Chains A and B, each alone.
Chain A
Amino acid sequence: MEKEKFFMNTNNNGSGYNCNSDQLQQPCFLNLNWESSIDQTSTAHFESALSSLVSSPAASAATTGAPPTDNVVIRELIGRLGSICNSGEVSPQSYIGGNRSTNTSCYSTPLNSPPKLNLSMNPMNAHHVGTPLDPGFAERAARFSCFGGRSYEGLSGQFRLPEAELPFRANPPKLVETGKLSRVSSSQSLMGASQSGPETPLTASEGPNEANVRKRKAAPKGKSKEPPKDLNVVEEEDLSAKRSRSAEANGNAKDAIKLKVEQNNGGSSPGDNAKKQQNKEIQKPPEPPKDYIHVRARRGQATDSHSLAERVRREKISERMKFLQDLVPGCNKVTGKAVMLDEIINYVQSLQRQVEFLSMKLATVNPRLDFNMESLLAKDILQSCGSLPHNGFPLENSASTFTFAQSAQQGNALQSMVNSGLETQCSLNPSDNHTIRRSLSMQLPGMDGLCDAASQLGSFWEDDLQSVVQMGFGQNGESFPGSLPTTQMQIKL
């Protein structure tokens, strides 16, 4: 966590030297760190101290009272160290990849990283506290430079800036934004730390490094004790653990970094996709490949892209089968896809046959439509609404429902219906509806079925638009071709 704050400003402001105010406002983080490092020089103690620092910043603030001038000292120290670190290898592409785009896969256990950070911070702190002429300072400084060089192996030459901005790491609002970024960089530093001992003068301090490696392995298990500050941290523990393990197995930090960069840049390896997808909902920051589907590969399931796609397809098929099962009558009891398909086929065939039969029926009936099509249609479609109790008086019922119609749509539809059905004058002009409605409500003052109709209004409304259309059409096709536009207008209501 400290490292997050530590690197936070790296990404946000290029040169954060003018942030003294922030630093002065919140020196608690810094001071706490120093105190802990003063007391405890062993790495295990550092870890505990760091965790305590992470967990209780308020308490640390209470205990610490270092003057702000310390920061100045630290800054100059950092500047010196930064010059040392410049000699380290610099691969700018990994810096680019390690920045915002690599938030996802590069997480690599920010909680694991603190001990390492603490260790590397140790010389600086010791030096600051009271022993500027400490004989071990050179060694510690070398270690620190190792750390810096390693941590910024993957980063570009700008790494001096983040270190210089170390005092400003306690800026809370930015911490929230850039926690992930800092985690990325810290992870890279970790990866580099496991390997790059030989190239830096860190012969004496290899032991702590190894201890850190071991700690890194052990950290994911013990991490659950700590309150998860961030969901991301907890979710991505295993990923980072895997990665760090693979890096250790390689014994080659460069390879590890490259691998990370690959994962960050595109998730090119298919196996990585599943891991990414696991973490996908957590990753709010911009992620280049967003077009794949959410799939969760459970433990033991194959994670290459073909199996994932196949699984998605199977899920889709079974879901639609379920939907069809609800749709097709008599399909609920059968089990098995083949039988269900048979049922579906039979149902579709029966429906098509029904259509054929009904069209035959209509063809035979068709000539008789001559005389009274509109009245038939009006009556029958009102009957086909079916939910009304008094089928003998459909128009009355509809009128009563109309008087209780509340929405404008229903009102219009029913108006037109009443218009066409009751008074066959077929003045479908919508401007007349108002007067007609009034006349109708005056015609039917004391209807008995008012309450019933009002209660059944909801079910009735499902079909009355259709009936309206049909009636309008009936009149339209029969004797009033001129009123077609108004009818269609009311259809679209």
Chain B
Amino acid sequence: MTTENPNFNKPIFANRFLRALSRIRRNRPNNNSNPSSLRRRSKKIKMAAYASMASAAAGSNKAWTRALIRRLRNRRRPRSGLHHRVVVRETEPVGRVDELRRLVPGGRGMDFDTLLDETAHYVQCLSSQVALMQSIADSIIMD
């Protein structure tokens, strides 16, 4: 299923992601019943997955990896108070291309051909990330 991607370093992804998983587990050991904490944890795991994906693909010198890392870094910063701030987007996505720009991190300032290039790479990395996460989740649940 996963196309072989030379730019995506699977060991790095696995290493970072598993380390983040164990760290998350270590930080909050025993409150799994609470749905809000569950959501928060899942969000953390998702962010960890994206961050490890970005770092695993960082060697490819693509713009989306830098944009993703920057976004995650900014998001990780503890916000003070304003959790439900309304973010006004200056340009709403109009067509399909804008939709694609919104999906690919860092895609707003790109040319269309660059956007397609980045999208291809991003799709590759996402699919291998999904496969890896799937295998990890399967392994954990199966036991």
Contact = CB atoms under 8 A, between A and B. Distances in A.
Contacts of A380: 135-136, 138-140, 142-143
A327 B1 CA distance: 10
A470 B132 CA distance: 11
Contacts of A321: 116
A338 interface: yes
A466 B132 contact: yes
Given A345-B96, A355-B50, A465 B130 contact: no
B122 A367 contact: no
Interface in A356-406: 356, 358-370, 372-373, 376-377, 379-381, 383-384
B54 interface: no
Given A362-B45, A380-B139, A491-B11, A324 B120 contact: yes
Looking at B38, B41, B123, B136, which has the most chain A CB atoms within 10 Å of its CB? Answer: B136
Given A327-B123, A351-B123, A468-B11, A317 B116 contact: yes
B12 interface: yes
Interface stretch (A39-47, A150-158, A217-225, A471-479): A471-479
Interface string A310-348: 000100110011011001100000000010011011011
A320 B123 contact: no
Interface in A29-82: none
Interface string B103-117: 110000001110011
Contacts of A468: 11
A324 B119 contact: yes
Contact of B11 (A324, A367, A377, A466): A466
A272 interface: no
**B interface bracket (residues with beta carbon within 8 Å of A):** 35 or more
Given A359-B46, A366-B32, A466-B132, A491 B15 contact: yes
A307 interface: no
B29 interface: yes
B120 A355 contact: no
Contacts of B15: 469-470, 473, 487-488, 491
Nearest to B102: A345
Given A358-B133, A468-B11, A473-B19, A384 B139 contact: yes
Given A465-B11, A468-B11, A355 B139 contact: no
Contacts of A352: 103, 126
A462 interface: yes
Interface of A: 313, 316-317, 320-321, 323-324, 327-328, 338, 341-342, 344-345, 347-349, 351-352, 354-356, 358-370, 372-373, 376-377, 379-381, 383-384, 462-463, 465-466, 468-470, 473-474, 476-478, 487-488, 491
Given A349-B103, A354-B134, 16 more contacts: A320-B117, A324-B119, A338-B96, A344-B123, A345-B99, A352-B126, A355-B50, A365-B141, A368-B140, A376-B140, A380-B143, A465-B11, A469-B14, A469-B15, A477-B19, A491-B15
